[in-house]
Amino acid sequence: MLEHIRATMDEAARALDALRRNDEALSAVAKAAELMVSSLRQGGCLYSCGNGGSMCDAMHFAEELTGRYRKDRPAVRAISISDASHISCVGNDYGYEFIFSRYIEAHGRPGDVLLAISTSGSSKNVKRAVDAARERGMKVIALTGHTGSVIGSLADVDVCTPGGPYADRVQELHIKVIHTFMELIERKLFPELY
């Protein structure tokens, strides 16, 4: 069993190391963070969405910004599209493909940013959210796991973190990127804390 655990950890380390050496991906992380900071400085809001584990990542992104990441500081405007009553209502009345886009239709405004998380880069409901955000003049940051994905191609910035054939490695890299977003937002908006 220890041999398998070590092999799993080694595989994860190789995926992270590949991301660390990918200048294009790291530049995309920086560009995405700048878009978020620019929106927040102008009174915008950061929205995030995804399915399954990606929804958990979307929620984590928002709660660390409205709550606390590393430093005590004022709350930052961020909302994950994860309200169970909204999702069940829209899923029942319109279909699961519309659970995120209807929320963006109701709340999204020009200058806001959508963080669209999809390991495959092809989730239909996330794509609809991207379309709705575009229609409202929002910026879109895609967090994907496959180059050339549909969602990535529609975004202002596609942060693509290929981690191998399985979603778990991609999600591990996604949370690393999300934590980096949080730190960069804190450093830019509250430099006195660093």
Res 11 pLDDT > 90:
yes
| Partner residues linked to 114 by β-bridges | 47, 140
Residue 45 has pLDDT above 90, yes or no: yes
By mean pLDDT, which of 25-34, 91-100, 158-167 is the weakest?
158-167
| Helix 2-20 / helix 167-189 crossing angle, nearest 10 deg | 50
Q: How many domains does the chain have?
A: 1
**72 torsion bin: left (phi>0), alpha (psi -120 to 50), beta (else):** beta
In this structure, what CATH number is given to the domain that contains residue 22? 3.40.50.10490
Helix (H, G, I), strand (E, B) or coil at 124: helix
Residue 191 has a pLDDT of: 96
* Nearest C-alpha neighbor of 69 from the set 183, 189, 188, 190: 183
47: β partners: 79, 114
**What residues contact 38, with CB distance under 8 A and at least 6 apart?**
none
pLDDT over 90 at 49, yes or no = yes
- pLDDT (tens digit, 9 = 90+) per residue, 106-127? 999 999 999 999 999 999 999 9
> In terms of C-beta density within 10 A (0-12 exposed, 13-18 middle, 19 or more buried), how is residue 66 classed?
middle
Residue 166 has pLDDT above 90, yes or no: no
Give residue 129's identity as a one-letter amino acid code.
Answer: A
Tell if the pTM clears 0.95, that is, is over it: yes
**What phi-psi label fits residue 113: left (phi over 0), alpha (psi between -120 and 50 degrees) or beta?**
beta
**pLDDT-derived band of residue 1, with 50, 70 and 90 as boundaries?**
very high
Q: Cα 60 to chain center, whole Å?
A: 10
* Domain that includes residue 9, residue range: 2-193
Task: Please determine, for residue 164, whether its predicted confidence score (pLDDT) is greater than 90.
Answer: no
Which residues, at least 6 apart from 148, have a Cβ–Cβ distance to it below 8 Å?
Answer: none
Residue 163 has pLDDT above 90, yes or no: no
